[in-house]
Structure 1
Amino acid sequence: MSSQAKANTKATFLPARLERHSLQADVAPGITVNPAMIYLARLQSDASKRTMTSVLNSAAKWFARDDTATWRTCEWARLSRVAIIGYAEYLRKDKRLSSRSIRNSVAALRGVAREAWLADLMPENAYRKIKEDLPHVSGYQIAKGRALSKDELLAMLKTCDQRHNIRGLRDAAIVCILSMCGLRRAELVHLDYEHIDWNTSTLTFIGKGNKERIAFLPAAAQSRLWDWCDRVRGSHEGALFFGISRGEAITEDRLTADGLHYIVTKLAAEAKISPCSAHDLRRTYATLQFESDVDILTIRDNMGHASVTTTQIYDHRNLATRRKSTEVFEF
């Protein structure tokens, strides 16, 4: 099929050349109502905002047939059920995205459509078709990332100890909190000293979805965290983890998510283990609990998940078990 024919086929889902029409709100002259802007503003997590911004930018380019289009310029009020189905099919066939990625895209578009309807920019019947009549995106992919073994965790902690500096104390505490408390990357970098309760061995903080969470500190994690706070950080209020300069001086800047990623990947290389990310340490936390036969509802609560379906994704036992099962064929 020619490129022109493909373009015409795609245009059946949403016109390539959209009519220009005003999105001006009656409530305040001169203020442009953009349903996508409202949708993004409602998201609680900065990571979710970045992800969904990218999702909506990609969708805007496809709907407008214009590589310069963004979520700011797309006329979202013209979204339709057929348009979204067509885009989902494009993501599946042409982009070969995973079912989970396609479901994220559809969820974002459904959310934007809702905001368009609430702003009186989309007829209710058009929104209802999007809300209730979109087909379910089926499919399942093998979980990405990996879970570390206990030997690999010990190798990372040993590497921290061998540094004999404040960076080693900080990074050991970070590894323990990620792998033994199961915090997300964004949750760790937003921890403050006052979130620690030394008497109950807990961390109480606001996690994803603006939900208050309690994470329990095992003895090893509390010991490493105490070393960092007692010997280096101090007990003043504010960020729990700071950046450290090359001269081994603590900066006044809170550790960032990108900085945390760099710390974990560099530490893995120094420890001479397979590459891993900060989120792999969270996967390790879940997998070690599964291996210890902790029930999935408890693991769900420990990880701050809303659904056990999400928790199941973090179970990395299955591949190892399947691999071990093939040993019966070794003669």
Structure 2
Amino acid sequence: MLIFKEAMTEFFNHCRFEKNLSAKTLKFYTIDLLQFSAFLERQGFPSVVAAIDKTHLKDYLRELSGWKPKTIKRKVATLKALFNYLEFEDHIVANPLRKLRIKIKEPALLPKALNAAESNDLLKKVYAALLPEDKNKYGYLEALRNIVVIELLFSTGARVSEIANLRRSALDLQSGTVTIHGKGGKQRMIQLCNPDALFTLDTYCTLFAGRIAANGGYLLVNRLGNKLSDQSIRILVGNLAEMAKIGKKVTPHVLRHTFATLLLENDVDIKYIQSLLGHSSIMTTQIYTQVNLEKQKKILAEKHPRMRFAMAMQ
């Protein structure tokens, strides 16, 4: 009889070596399954996987009820993946989650984005920190690297993990293209058209060539010469936004939303935006059609027929 902890180990090996899942996915699987394992032990429920049934899962869902809907969904999805695997491998007769009707509603939150003026303020601030007289100091190199981070996020709309894992070989400065490795091993190529961004990237690649080569080819480098992590990029972006006096919390994901929203505002077809963002479904991208109230106001003020109907009372 297979006990739950043995099932976890077998499942992780399957995910790592057969499905080749990302380190991030494996991390969340580990967190979620360890939490469920601890729940089974705490409640004195069976540790044998074949004995785990819908009553145990219902109790677990009650325990999770205080978490955010998105987190609950993820934890349930992790359990589904595990039990589907166990069923396929004949360790259990059927996935017990199929006997539950689980409906978790997430609030429809619109993504936050910077407007054009705020985006300009952020770019101005990061470029203003690049003082030519400091070229021989690390402060200059750090300021240059910060510009590259913002330019890449703003110019490509890439996810923070995609930028952190970007290698020098993915950047072709001759053609002005960057190849992004996205979710599920999918690749997309994005054109970098802005002369300032291209010049900065070229300067950065020249000055950081030795550091990039030493860390295995990762483009973005920290003070110690290692790859810049996702979290470091989040902190960096937040600090730079505060310095630019932008009155809202700014994250790499906000810059991704900004990329999409400003393109839509400039009448770019949503299908192109879907391709640039690396969304597998157009439904994911369509949320941006609800975002920009300024654009909505402009359209209605200029195009709505009611604006042509003048009334006598003024």
Do they superpose with TM above 0.5?
A: yes
Q: Of the candidates 77, 80, 87, which is equivalent to residue 107 of structure 1?
A: 77
Counterpart Cα distance in 2 of 1:113 and 1:265: 40
Q: Secondary structure at the match of 2:21?
A: coil
Give the drift of 1:56.
2.7
Q: Of the candidates 29, 45, 66, which is equivalent to residue 95 of structure 1?
A: 66
Considering only aligned residues, what root-mean-square deviation do their CA atoms show, in Å?
3.6
**Deviating more after overlay: 168-177 vs 75-84:** 75-84
Alignment match, 2:171: 196
Q: Cα 1:324–1:205, aligned 2, differ >3 Å: closer, same or farther?
A: closer
Alignment match, 1:65: 42
Q: Of the candidates 235, 243, 255, which is equivalent to residue 281 of structure 1?
A: 255
Q: Cα 1:307–1:229, aligned 2, differ >3 Å: closer, same or farther?
A: same
Confirm or deny that 1:168 pairs with 2:143: yes
Count of equivalent residues: 285
- Structure 2 gap ranges (5+): 132-139, 302-313
Alignment match, 1:216: 191
Which AA in structure 2 matches 1:44?
L
Counterpart Cα distance in 2 of 1:267 and 1:140: 31
Give the drift of 1:176.
1.4
Q: Secondary structure at the match of 1:147?
A: coil
Which AA in structure 1 matches 2:253?
H
**Deviating more after overlay: 42-51 vs 283-292:** 42-51
Counterpart Cα distance in 2 of 1:320 and 1:88: 41
Asked if 2 retains the 8 angstrom alpha-carbon contact of 1:148 and 1:280, the reply is: yes
Alignment match, 1:226: 202
Counterpart Cα distance in 1 of 2:78 and 2:174: 43
**Deviating more after overlay: 209-218 vs 309-318:** 309-318
Asked if 1 retains the 8 angstrom alpha-carbon contact of 2:158 and 2:277, the reply is: yes
Give the drift of 1:196.
1.1
Asked if 2 retains the 8 angstrom alpha-carbon contact of 1:77 and 1:116, the reply is: no
Confirm or deny that 1:186 pairs with 2:156: no
Q: Cα 1:316–1:266, aligned 2, differ >3 Å: closer, same or farther?
A: farther
Alignment match, 1:272: 245
Asked if 1 retains the 8 angstrom alpha-carbon contact of 2:261 and 2:292, the reply is: no
Asked if 2 retains the 8 angstrom alpha-carbon contact of 1:189 and 1:255, the reply is: yes
Give the drift of 1:59.
3.1
Counterpart Cα distance in 2 of 1:323 and 1:141: 25
**Deviating more after overlay: 307-316 vs 275-284:** 307-316
Give the drift of 1:187.
1.0
More helix per residue: 1 or 2? 2
Q: Cα 1:75–1:205, aligned 2, differ >3 Å: closer, same or farther?
A: farther
Alignment match, 2:30: 53
Q: Cα 1:308–1:52, aligned 2, differ >3 Å: closer, same or farther?
A: farther
After TM superposition, the score normalised by the length of structure 2 is 0.75
Give the drift of 1:95.
0.6
Q: Cα 1:140–1:183, aligned 2, differ >3 Å: closer, same or farther?
A: same
C-alpha deviations, 1:231-281, integer Å up to 9, x for none? x2238751211113xxxxxx4211111211121111111111122111211
- Structure 1 gap ranges (5+): 1-20, 25-30, 245-250
Give the drift of 1:201.
1.9
Which AA in structure 1 matches 2:86?
A
Give the drift of 1:181.
0.2
Counterpart Cα distance in 1 of 2:295 and 2:14: 42
Give the drift of 1:134.
4.7
Alignment match, 1:242: 221
Asked if 1 retains the 8 angstrom alpha-carbon contact of 2:178 and 2:190, the reply is: yes
Asked if 2 retains the 8 angstrom alpha-carbon contact of 1:147 and 1:316, the reply is: no
Q: Secondary structure at the match of 2:222?
A: strand
After TM superposition, the score normalised by the length of structure 1 is 0.72
Confirm or deny that 1:310 pairs with 2:276: no
Confirm or deny that 1:258 pairs with 2:218: no
**Deviating more after overlay: 153-162 vs 137-146:** 137-146
C-alpha deviations, 1:65-122, integer Å up to 9, x for none? 359x9xxx9654444455445544553xx41522x33332221111000121233211
Q: Secondary structure at the match of 2:34?
A: helix
Q: Secondary structure at the match of 1:253?
A: coil
Aligned pairs for 1:144-163 within 5 A: 146-163=112-129
